[in-house]
Homo-oligomer: A and B are copies of this chain.
């Protein structure tokens, strides 16, 4: 069965929002998709009738199993294309998201599987997020953010939570990417900032907001 780009966007968005909250609200969807609540209601009715979501008026929405599969498939495509854009075409990782938003809606199994093989069946995208396989399975890595990681020991940056281009710009400035080695030297209770060593450069300070969005493996 085929789904429109718009349907796929709603499904993907519900999937991501479900990570934090059990049931997803109309307003949450409207603000992340940048549309009006009325439009969301319309689309939820449509997705409901296609049995891709369980939607209860005034209550909230959840993905069905079918909806979940579709979400994982779109996410798989998105992340494979991001990997391709960065590692094959040499894009800056701060710029790939927008292009991948278009590429992810092209549905051709042979295309995606060949792309996957060409990229070496990688399991992690350029932002450190796991890439689901054909069946929607993916590995989760045990990781903690810089404000929770043990001090005075090198940890390895494994993913970025807030992936806004503003955030990625700042990380570029710090020279932090996936794989960078970081050691937390001190934490300041006053504002939650942290003094860190990035690779072998001199010490710097990152704000609490940054520390809470950079995830590492120990």
Interface residues of A (CB under 8 A from B): 85, 88-91, 95, 98-99, 102-103, 106, 108, 110-111, 114-115, 118
Contact = CB atoms under 8 A, between A and B. Distances in A.
Contacts of A102: 106, 108
Oligomeric state, in copies: 2
Contacts of A103: 106
A44 to B, nearest CB: 26
A95 B108 CA distance: 11
A91 B114 contact: yes
B106 A89 contact: no
Contacts of A98: 108
Contact of A90 (B90, B106, B108, B114): B114
5 contacts: A88-B118, A89-B115, A89-B118, A90-B118, A102-B108
Contacts of A115: 89
A95 B114 contact: no
A39 to B, nearest CB: 19
A133 to B, nearest CB: 18
Contacts of A111: 85, 89, 99
